[in-house]
Structure 1
């Protein structure tokens, strides 16, 4: 990882279960939130230090993330956050559109005033980030908005 990484607090591997699974989830959260953006070099010792764990669970998590397509392991170079190809991005967009449409339908039926208010607040914050030219902030807020829709949908399988 380069020194230009954000210095904000990093979510630690806090969920119950084996350490390798908690480290996997923490790294996946960092990748999907773009705190570790596509193309970023992932140095085991740096990740271990950020997460407060040894290198072994980080190594195991990187192997699993590689199998899942989130990380590219390059011989003699190390691990890198996967950069999606245009075809992968298009395919993901199609699937996401189908799933999010259903999630939105379920959320609309189940969300009460508090849920609607939370979505409105996230949307307004995202619009402010876009207007201020804060691309990373806008992306993070969009992810939070979509996660909230999934939460309001009340379907854990769909959210996964």
Structure 2
């Protein structure tokens, strides 16, 4: 096996993240090549043996990373973060227009490595507030 070091514990995690990035790109490409989103979710669910709801979430995240959050996808591709951590960038940016989401993505992507999911979420929330302060205030008033 390995050398009994934490580096050897982390190495498979980084490789799993790179494989998740590959899968994200493939899911986004597959769903983009199809017209009927309901069929895509059913097909992905069947292929991955997951629920249709889980498939819809996976497809949405894949499309988001490929189209709106390319820097976060890059961090996933390098193994700096895993897919769960990437979702912590995607979720708060879902309320933003594409250009604003890309702005947040660019602002946070180089600071994702080594952070836990909660700190990523907090950092992204702060960036969302800076990019769209009026919208953030309105959303805060509704909660």
> Do both share a fold (TM > 0.5)?
no
TM-score by length of 2: 0.24
- Greater CA radius of gyration, 1 or 2? 1
Structure number having the greater helix percentage: 2
TM-score by length of 1: 0.22
Structure number having the greater strand percentage: 1
